[in-house]
Amino acid sequence: GAGVSQSPSNKVTEKGKDVELRCDPISGHTALYWYRQSLGQGLEFLIYFQGNSAPDKSGLPSDRFSAERTGGSVSTLTIQRTQQEDSAVYLCASSLEALQPQHFGDGTRLSIL
Amino acid sequence: AQRVTQPEKLLSVFKGAPVELKCNYSYSGSPELFWYVQYSRQRLQLLLRHISRESIKGFTADLNKGETSFHLKKPFAQEEDSAMYYCALRGAKDGNEKLTFGTGTRLTIIP
């Protein structure tokens, strides 16, 4: 596709449920990033994948959060046992290589009831 | 630690007037600074980066290391400039590719 694609665009779930968010980066982009934007906050870095290197997980807020990137392309962010404070817009970005400009998707708006 | 501060949550400017969106940063090494913009119902997109030293849509931003600032400026505001603007920093010192964002400024251009 022409840009970074994220699905679903909106997700409403009950507290305690697990959720999976998907990101399709731009074809050929080796770097992939996940960010979170809570209400009234700036974008907060979560995790970064670059090629076959070990991901930088330094931004994940708790062990309930995990992400994987299969085949160097599609990435899935998983949140287990969701809490209300997990409600946010989750943004994915990709770049051709590390240190190149990041291109963002439309995000997934996650609401925890 | 790296930090980006955008002191203004909201900024309203009349069409044709100059615009300045403030951004200050904290970083011990040599940072790379960016401005991202999000127009209504569109995705976040890169507006400009300091190393390019270019003008995009009439906007410019100069990195001032002495004042640790990267303010975004435009001499004559246009209605289509209304959007959410985010300043972001990437620390080059440790090869850290992640971006640290400010909380954003919502710019409204008054016709």
Determine the distance from the C-alpha atom of residue A74 to the mean position of all C-alpha atoms in its chain, rounded to a whole number: 11
CA nearest neighbour of A5 among A73, A86, A100: A73
For residue A104, pLDDT over 70 is answered with yes
pLDDT value at position A98?
77
CATH fold label, A5-99: Immunoglobulin-like (2.60.40)
Report the alpha-carbon distance of residue A37 to residue B88 in Å, rounded.
14
3 state SS of B91:
strand
For residue B94, pLDDT over 60 is answered with no
Using alpha carbons only, what angle is made at residue A12 by residues A6 and A16, rounded to the nearest 5 degrees?
110
Task: Please give the domain boundaries of chain B with CATH numbers for all domains.
Answer: 3-8+15-86 (2.60.40.10)
Contact B45 A105 (CB under 8 A): no
Q: Which residue has the higher pLDDT, B30 or A61?
A: A61
For residue B21, pLDDT over 60 is answered with yes
CB proximity list for A39: less than 8 A, separation 6 or greater: A87, A88
Question: Which residues of A fall below an 8 Å CB-CB distance to B?
Answer: 3-4, 31, 33, 35, 40-45, 48, 50, 56, 58-59, 91, 98-99, 101-107
Tokens representing residue A98 in the block? 């590390």
For residue B95, pLDDT over 60 is answered with no
DSSP state of A55: P
What are the tens digits of pLDDT across the range A28-82? 999 999 999 998 788 999 999 988 888 999 899 999 999 999 887 999 999 999 9
In total, chain B counts a number of residues equal to 111
- Most A CBs within 10 A among B43, B52, B86, B103, hence the mutation to make, goes to B43
Sign of the C-alpha dihedral, residues B68, A31, A106, A21?
A: negative
Burial class of residue B5 (count of CB atoms within 10 Å of its CB; 0-12, 13-18, 19+): middle
